[in-house]
Structures are given as C-alpha cells and as structure tokens.
A and B are shown apart, each in its own frame.
Chain A
C-alpha cells in the first residue's frame, strides 16, 4: 500500500540503485555493440570508407564463404578440447580442495596457489611455454636424452596442440573458481549420509557432487567457451600463424580495412555465443542454484 502511494519515489530509488552499472554498461558495452551492429549493415568503398545505409551484402559474403564454416569448425574444435580439459582439471582440483583438504587454511592457501599464474601477463605466460615445448625445449631434449625419439617433435610448439595447452593453462582457473564455489556449499553431512547409505566414492561423485556442482560447471563453461571463442591472440601466437579462428579471421579483415564484413562476422559470432550460453542456461538454472 505504501509503495503504491509513493510510486515515483520508489521508482527513483530503483533507478539510483542501477545507475552506476548503467553508467558503465551503456558507454562501454551497449554503445560499441550498437556501433558494430550498424557498421555491419554499411557499405564500404574497399579502402576503409563507410557509406551509411542498409545492406546485407556483408552478411551474404560472410555466410557464403566456405572459409566461415572452416573457421567455425576450427574454433569449435579448440573450444571443445579446451572445455574438456579445463573441466576435468578444474573439477578435480576443486574436488580435492573442498573434500580432501581438511585444513581450511591450507585449502585457501592452495586455492591462492592456483591463481599464481595470473600474477603475470598473458603474453609472458604464453612465451614461457616456448622453452618447454620448443624444438630445443626441455621436453624434446628429455625425450631425445632417454632415446624415446630421434628427431625433436615438431608438434609440440606452434601447433594446435600448443594452442590447446596454452588455453587450458590460461582458463582452468575459470573452471576451478565457480566449481569450487558450488562444491564448497555442499553440506558435508550429505556426503556422510551417502556413505551411510553405502555409496562408494564414485557413487558419491556421480550422484551427489556432480549434480550439486552443476551451476559451477555451467558458469565455468560459459567463461571458458566465451573466452576461447572470442580469442585470436593465443591461436595466433601458439600456432605460429598456422591456425586461424573466427576472431583472427575478422581481425585480418580489420587489417585490410574490410570493416563491414568484420562487423558482420562479429555480430554472427555474438549470436552464436548467445545461443550457446542460453542453451547452457536452459539446462542449468544458475540463478536458482546460486540463490538456493
């Protein structure tokens, strides 16, 4: 009753609450996306000049190109591989931290240890793989030394393998954190109740821990998938230019001043990602799980 008598005041309060977020999101998120969206419908003179208007030519070009499908296949391959490895590693690291480290302080210490790689820049972290994976790198030398191989393995660096390794290295933390979070909220009594019922360790993981960590897994998946699909730098550096991804392709387009096709590719990628994320959100009600 009170709120209906002073609707304008409560409305104002609501707007005030969201205003900081709006002030950040509108100029730095909404506006750029609108610019890209607009540019994707513009025509170009081929030399960077844009003619305002409405044409679907860029979309037609992108969708008709055989390259687009190939790029998406390559990107999806990287995404799926990275997702699988980060999920497996992230799940078990979180599981270990939550259920096996009895000492709370130790668990927090180990958790912080997981974040240590993030104290250095992304580029340095990638470069640091070179002495390990390179032709003269530690792994090749070790394998040569014990006589397993005669020739250094070329596949280790500047390859798809190297790209996946770098992604996994970079992104596992994005799996660990949300999964750790949802696991930490599992009541330890539930595990005891499951043991009491005769559940094995595997049963407990399969029937209790995994279903109850669903929201964390979903959140981590969203992070990893959107980062990998939106990345070109790791692919470029770690594949040595041998592989491409969706983003690296439209990065090239920008380089040769093909703004509308680049914008159209970007919009397409955004739509694909939105579709993937909404699919994930449809299977796991993250909102409900988090507020539970």
Chain B
C-alpha cells in the first residue's frame, strides 16, 4: 500500500561537506502534510542544502529525515516519492516539452501511449498545450518554469521541492508565477517546500515560514507570526518592515519596562510573558514601520502613545499607497516610518524637518 502522507520531520539534521564546518547545524522541524513551507535566508545559510537532503541528493551527516512516518535517509528520490524542481529548471535541452514532462514515466517503464497521455494531461494543467512540441530553448522563462513544475509533478510525488523557483524570472512574471505555484499546490494537495531569499515571496505563499541563518533555524512559524512577531533582531531585520532599536532597561514596572533612549522619558515597552528583563539589561525592541506616526514638535501625540523620539527627516520616498520616510531617530540603526499616502500629503514633510516619531505603546515588541 502506498503511503501518501507528505508530512516531514527533520530531527537533529546536520550536514558538513568538509568535516569541519557545518552548513546545516542541528535543524529540527516539523512540516505538516499538504503544507506550503518556505525556507528563507541569505545565500549560504544552508536552506538549499536542507532541500537537497530532503530530496535525497545529499545525505545528512547526522540526523533523521522522516517523510510520512518513515526515515528516508539513504533512500533514492524515487523511493522517497519526492520530486525536485531545480533552480534554473534543468530541463533536458534535447527533449521537447512533452518528452521532458514524460521523462520520469519513461524511465519507470510506462508504455509510450500511456506516458504521452499522462504528459498531455499535465501539459494542459499547466496551460502549455500549444507548446508541447517545442524544445525548452524555444520557450520563455515563465513557460520553462511551468514545464519544470509539470515534470516534477507528473510522478505524483508526496513532496515537491522547489529550489528558488522564481529567481530566474523578471519581477512581473514572478508575481504571476507565484500565484500559479500556490494554485498548483492547492490543486495537487501535496506538501511544497520552497527555498527563496525573497521575503515577500515567502510571506505571500507560505503556511510555514522558516527563517535560517548560518545553518540554524532562527524562527519557524506562520507567515504573519514571523513577520509581525519576530523572535530576535536577525529575524526582524531580515523579514523587514520593522525598526529595531536597542537600549538598556531603565526601570521595570509590572507589565512594562522602560528603555533608556534619546527620548525624554525613555521608551515604554510592554513586557511579554516569555521575556524576563531586569534593570541594566541590554534589550532590542522592534516597532513596525507602519505603526510609527510622525507628529510635528509641540503637537499632541495620538492617543495611546507614550513614547516620542525627536528625529530629523533624512529622505522621503513615494511608494504609491504609502510614503517611506527615513529618519535619524536612532544613531546606528535605520529608522523608517511608512506613512499612509493621504496622511502624509495632508501635511507633507520635507527633508531636514524635525518631527516626533511616535507609536502606541502596545505596538513595541521586545526581542530575544
């Protein structure tokens, strides 16, 4: 009986190519069956190596990889029932679209009629019918990507692994193909694991976002959680959309603490259940860029705001539905406010203006 469960568990997975440095260093992770999981991190963080280990193109130095309840370490990709979509697609240049897609069935010994029928059905699914007899070189980037997807999906794998599938495409096509990937995943109902270095791609697609750095998982969780509640400075900065400030704890009072900063009264930060801080600790906090409001000096702060930092406007970028205002609020870190377009143009600032950057106390997030 076939086991169709595509849930994956990585247990203590390490990988070293030279025996000295670990590109993947003790990764533990559970991915639910039928989930869309994105690994994200800078190049060299080990995300592709993890993907290749799940695919069976690399063996872990230590650790177990369990797919559908079975340890698959040492098994060939076919036995794992995984399929991989390679970066830059690795389509067979001498075979037509149809032959490329039918390749896996061909080497499984299916008759020509059967495999071509199956390939044609898959070609229709990825809307390439009119290109079935072309060679890969005669297709556009987006079409090649669909061929690669179809070629990987035709064996009905329980896990589909995608190595930076959108990186070879231009911006517009990327957004379009992103939706197509999601549509295919829902249609096939199988686990997708997608490696990317683009934050937007990860949070747009994934049920589970895994942020990596130097072979370790920094945070894994639903897209919204990773974006809105980053664990630490690295995740906050990597996922973007957050201002990270650091300072020493000045006083702790019940449900909040105060961070010493350039602000006259310090910065008040709510205390989370998980964090324990004491006076004198150095703490990082994050404030979402779209939570920051800018007020002219001397004006009243919006309700709920107890912190206001005097800043000078360094630069202004119009982004369409919002305006990106860069400030010199904190000495070493970037500090940016995303001001809604209408709010900004009701009373526009110019570069050099002094403003008060403020946010409601509840939206400051202490980081680990």
| CB–CB A196/B103 < 8 A | no
A196 and B84 within 8 A (CB): yes
Quick one: which of A189-214 are within 8 Å of B by CB?
A: 189-190, 192-200, 203, 207-208, 211-212
Of B55, B78, B92, B94, the contact of A198 (CB 8 Å cutoff) = B78
Name the residue of chain A whose CB is nearest to the CB of B79: A198
- The CA of A208 and the CA of B108, in the complex, are separated in Å by 15
Specify which chain A residues have a CB less than 8 angstroms from the CB of B86 in the assembled complex.
189, 192-193
A198 and B108 in contact, given A192-B57, A207-B103 (Cβ under 8 angstroms) = yes
Contact B93 A193 (CB under 8 A): no
| Interfacial chain A residues near B152, Cβ < 8 Å | 196
Contact A196 B107 (CB under 8 A): no
Q: Are B94 and A197 within 8 A (Cβ)?
A: no
> Is the C-beta of A287 less than 8 angstroms from some C-beta in chain B?
no
What is the CA–CA distance of A200 and B151 in the complex, to the nearest angstrom? 17
Asked if B77 is at the interface of the complex by the 8 Å CB criterion, the answer is yes
Residues of B within 8 A of A189 (CB): 86-88, 90
Which A residues, 163 to 185, have Cβ-Cβ distances below 8 Å to chain B?
none
Q: Of A199, A203, A211, which one neighbours B94 at CB under 8 angstroms? A: A211
Which residues of chain A are within 8 angstroms of B67 by Cβ–Cβ distance?
none
- A187 in contact with B103 given A193-B84, A196-B84 (CB within 8 Å): no
Interface size on B, residues (CB 8 A): 26
Whether A200 contacts B57 in the complex (CB less than 8 A), given A189-B88, A195-B76, comes out as no
**Interfacial chain A residues near B90, Cβ < 8 Å:** 187, 189-190, 192-193
Q: Does A292 contact B (CB under 8 A)?
A: yes
Return chain B residues, CB-CB under 8 Å to A198. 76-78, 104, 107-108, 155
Please report the number of residue pairs spanning A and B whose Cβ atoms sit closer than 8 angstroms.
59
Complex interface bits, B319-344 against A, C-beta within 8 A gives 1, otherwise 0: 00000000000000000000000000
B83 is an interface residue with CB less than 8 A from chain A: yes
Residue among B87, B93, B107 making CB contact with A197, cutoff 8 Å: B107
| A214 nearest CB across to chain B (Å) | 8
Contacts of B111-155 to chain A: CB distance below 8 A: 137, 151-152, 155
Interface string of A23-64 (1 = CB under 8 A from B): 000000000000000000000000000000000000000000
Residue in A closest to B99 when the chains form the complex, CB atoms:
A207
Q: Say how far A291's CB is from chain B's closest CB, in angstroms.
A: 12
Interface residues of B in 245-293 (CB under 8 A from A): none
Q: Is the CB of A197 within 8 A of B103?
A: yes
- Of the residues A196, A199, A203, A212, contact of B55 by C-beta under 8 Å: A196
- B106 CB contact (under 8 Å) in A187, A190, A207, A292: A207
Q: How far is the CA of A200 from the CA of B90 in the complex (A)?
A: 18
Whether the pair B83, A292 counts as a contact (CB closer than 8 A) is no
Which B133-183 residues have a C-beta within 8 angstroms of A?
137, 151-152, 155
> Are the CB atoms of A195 and B77 closer together than 8 Å?
yes
Q: With A195-B77, A198-B78 given, is the CB distance from A190 to B92 under 8 Å?
A: yes
Residues of A within 8 A of B87 (CB): 189
Contacts of B84 in A (CB 8 A): 192-193, 196
A211-239 near B? 1/0 per residue, CB < 8 Å: 11000000000000000000000000000
| Chain B positions within 8 Å of A211 at CB level | 94
Which of chain B's residues has its CB closest to A191's CB?
A: B90
A192 to B91 Cα, complex, angstroms:
11
**A30 to B361 alpha-carbon distance, docked (Å):** 91
Provide the bound-state CA to CA distance between A197 and B104, in Å: 5
Q: Which residue of B lies closest to A195 (CB)?
A: B77
Given A187-B90, A190-B92, check contact A197 B151 (CB 8 Å). yes
Alpha-carbon separation in the docked complex, A273 to B108 (Å): 42
> Which residues of A are found within 8 Å of B77, using beta-carbon distances?
195-196, 198
Question: When chains A and B are docked, how far (Å) is the Cα of A65 from the Cα of B83?
Answer: 65
What string of 1s and 0s marks CB contacts (under 8 Å) between A104-132 and chain B? 00000000000000000000000000000
Most chain B CB within a 10 A radius of its CB, from A192, A198, A199: A198
| Bitwise interface map of B from 50 to 86 toward A, beta carbon under 8 Å scored 1, else 0 | 0000011100000000000000000011100011101
Q: Collect the chain B residues with CB atoms within 8 Å of residue A194's CB.
A: 92, 103, 107
Q: Pick the residue among A187, A203, A212 that contacts B107 (CB under 8 A).
A: A203
Name which residue of chain A comes closest to B55, CB basis.
Answer: A196
Nearest Cβ on chain A to B122's Cβ, whole angstroms: 13
List chain A positions with a Cβ less than 8 A from chain B. Answer: 187, 189-190, 192-200, 203, 207-208, 211-212, 292
> What are 15 of the A-B contact pairs (CB < 8 Å)?
A189-B88, A189-B90, A190-B90, A192-B84, A192-B86, A194-B103, A194-B107, A195-B76, A196-B56, A196-B57, A197-B103, A197-B155, A198-B155, A292-B93, A292-B137
Beyond the given A193-B151, A194-B103, A196-B77, could you list 15 further A-B residue pairs with CB under 8 A, ordered by the A residue number? Answer: A190-B93, A192-B86, A193-B86, A193-B90, A195-B57, A196-B57, A196-B82, A196-B152, A198-B76, A198-B104, A198-B108, A199-B107, A203-B107, A207-B106, A208-B92
* 8 closest Cβ pairs, A-B complex: A197-B104, A198-B78, A189-B90, A193-B90, A199-B107, A203-B107, A196-B77, A196-B84
